[in-house]
Structure 1
């Protein structure tokens, strides 16, 4: 049976990407969430600034919050500039929030942001994954598979 294709979202401009997440976690489900931002945060993101390397999402009550995402202050902002590492509310449907809350509470899953991007309508979105942490031996297996695929490509390129 063929492996199902991953969900593709309409990414026009990717601002920040968490490349380490696919190495650290087994990715189960991927969701597209809106993000509640202030004006200077949007301007800073449009300038290509922002990191989500240490970020995670947390369920608080009936809401999901993005914690520890760094959007630096806008360079031309005035005294109303935003705080760089403030918690930001993620916008999801109630059914999705309930599903994520259940998975985090029951199964010990984690909510990890994979990327922050702008869609075709110019809205800032977060690609949020429901993930389970890998053990050390799983990470070694991932590195071994990646090295073998690289060697395989090298052999095919040299002989073909």
Structure 2
């Protein structure tokens, strides 16, 4: 009687501890813009930038994405220098190329050029595979009266929740 072949034990999946973690968020974007369409984009980074992001240090609050030729570039995002990189460090606010599919690029470029939209980064995070990803949104700027309206609605929701909690 032949013995069945021995199966090797299943491989353990290596789980990146920083996977799915939020690095930076642009909370001001929802207040200043009407966010319409969200996309996930990769970012072209150097080694010292990745190390600085692993430390959880980045700021995308004043950044935006600009169209340069037939590509989209992240402008004014601040990734501070990595201390241990020495002379091989990066420039903190250098323009970084966003990695998108051609159809996504064409749609974004068309919206910016024809409709006057702005591309705003909303979140910078690690995906499941441990890659740095940037969530960008097509946005239309708000006027001051729109901002006041948003603030009034938010205040009313807060007051309503407080009343319901007290009475109920």
| TM-score, length-scaled by structure 1 | 0.92
Q: Deviations over 1:122-150 (max 9, x none)?
A: 00000000000000000000000000000
Shift of 1:62: 1.3
Q: Distance in 1 between matches of 2:135 and 2:159?
A: 31
List structure 1 runs of 4+ shifted beyond 2 angstroms: none
Q: Residues 33-112 of structure 1: matches in 2 within 5 Å?
A: 33-112=41-120
Q: Distance in 2 between matches of 1:110 and 1:63?
A: 15
- Local SS of the residue matching 1:79: helix
Paired positions, count: 150
Q: Distance in 2 between matches of 1:59 and 1:36?
A: 15
Q: Which residue of 2 aligns with 1:15?
A: 23
Q: Distance in 1 between matches of 2:91 and 2:69?
A: 23
Q: Which residue of 2 aligns with 1:7?
A: none
Q: Distance in 1 between matches of 2:56 and 2:79?
A: 10
Q: Distance in 1 between matches of 2:117 and 2:70?
A: 17
Q: Which residue of 2 aligns with 1:139?
A: 147
The structure with the larger Rg is 2
Q: Distance in 1 between matches of 2:22 and 2:144?
A: 30
Q: Distance in 2 between matches of 1:83 and 1:100?
A: 27
Are residue 153 (structure 1) and residue 161 (structure 2) matched? yes
Shift of 1:77: 1.1
Q: Distance in 2 between matches of 1:100 and 1:37?
A: 21
Q: Deviations over 1:98-137 (max 9, x none)?
A: 0000100111100000011000100000000000000000
- Local SS of the residue matching 1:150: helix
Structure 2 unaligned runs (5+)? 1-18
| TM-score, length-scaled by structure 2 | 0.88
- Local SS of the residue matching 2:83: coil
